[in-house]
Structure 1
Amino acid sequence: MTKPAPPPHPGFGAFGKIHREFFDAFDDGSWQPVAGYTGVEEKILSGSLDPVTRRGAVTRLGRWAPGAAVDHPVSHDWCEEVFIVSGSLKLGTLAAKAEAVRLPFGTYAVRPPHIIHGPFFSDEGCLLIEFLYYPPAP
C-alpha cells in the first residue's frame, strides 16, 4: 500500500511544493516521456503546474537522448528557466544542421510566458534542469 503524498509545505506559498531533504535526483526511477517529443524525458523533482488555475511551480530534470529533436518552435503560458547541466543542445533544425547554434553545458535561459523558442535538437544528448512556474498575481 502506498502512502498518500504529504501536503505542500506552507513555506512555499502558492507554489505548493513539498519539503524534501537530499535525495538521489539521478536515480533511474520516475523518468517519463515528454508528450509530443521523441527521445525527451522528464523527471519531476518537486511541485506541479495547474494550467486551469494558472498556478504552481515545477522543478524538473529534462533528459534528451542523442538525436532527440523538437522540430518546431514552442510557446507556453508559464515562466521557464533552463540550465544545461551536461551535453549540449542546438538551436535550429536537423534539416538545417549546419546553421544551428550550439548551446553547451553551462548555458542558461529565462523566459516569461508566451515567448516563442526553438526548434531544438541534440546530437550528443543533454541533461537540463528546468524551473517552470506561473507568475504570481500582481
Structure 2
Amino acid sequence: MSKAPRLHIEMLPFDDDDGWLPLPGFPAGFDVKILADDLDEKRKAGARTRLVRFAAGVATTEALVHDYWEEVFVLKGAVVPPDGDASAPDVLLYSCRPPGTPHGPFRSENGCIMLEVQYYVADAA
C-alpha cells in the first residue's frame, strides 16, 4: 500500500465512495482509506491517519497488538466485541490505546466506519 505523506490540506472536498482498498492482513469486508501516512514501524517514527470500514456482518478473529499509540473514533455504525450486544443503538465511541494494548476481536452487525490515528511518541527523558 502506497504512503500518502502528510501535506497541508485545507478543507478539501472528501469523496466517501472513492479510494477504498482492502485492508491488508484482514479478510474480505474490511477496507481502508489512507488520509496521510508516514508511519515507519522499523524506525518507530511517524504517524498514520486513515478510515477503516467494516462491511455489515464482518468480524475480526483475534486480538491485535502493536507498538504504536492508536486513537479510534467510530464515525458511523457500531462495532462491538464478539459477545457484545449488537442490538444496542449506534453511539459515538472513542478509544485511546497505548503501545502493547491488546484490543479486539470486534464485529459489526450493520457495518461501520472508524477514523484511526496511529503514531509513535518519543520516550520522555
TM-score normalised over the length of structure 1: 0.77
Aligned-partner Cα distance in 1 for 2:57–2:85: 15
Do residues 24 (structure 1) and 20 (structure 2) align?
A: no
Q: Could you tell me the percent identity over the aligned residues?
A: 37
Do residues 100 (structure 1) and 89 (structure 2) align?
A: no
Aligned 1:1-138 pairs, distance under 5 A: 17-38=6-27, 39-92=29-82, 99-102=83-86, 104-138=90-124
What secondary structure is seen at the aligned counterpart in 2 of 1:109?
strand
What secondary structure is seen at the aligned counterpart in 2 of 1:84?
strand
Aligned-partner Cα distance in 1 for 2:97–2:110: 25
TM-score normalised over the length of structure 2: 0.84
**Of 43-52 and 26-35, the range deviating more from structure 2:** 26-35
> Rg bigger for which structure?
1
Aligned-partner Cα distance in 2 for 1:41–1:105: 21
Letter in 1 for 2:119: Y
Q: If each structure's helix is expressed as a fraction of its own residues, which one has the higher value?
A: 1
Aligned-partner Cα distance in 2 for 1:74–1:57: 18
Number of aligned positions between the proteins: 119
Unaligned runs of 5+ in 2: none
CA contact (8 A) 1:49 1:56 kept: yes
**Of 30-39 and 76-85, the range deviating more from structure 2:** 30-39
Unaligned runs of 5+ in 1: 9-16, 93-98
Q: What value does the CA root-mean-square deviation take over the aligned residues?
A: 2.1
Aligned-partner Cα distance in 2 for 1:116–1:70: 13
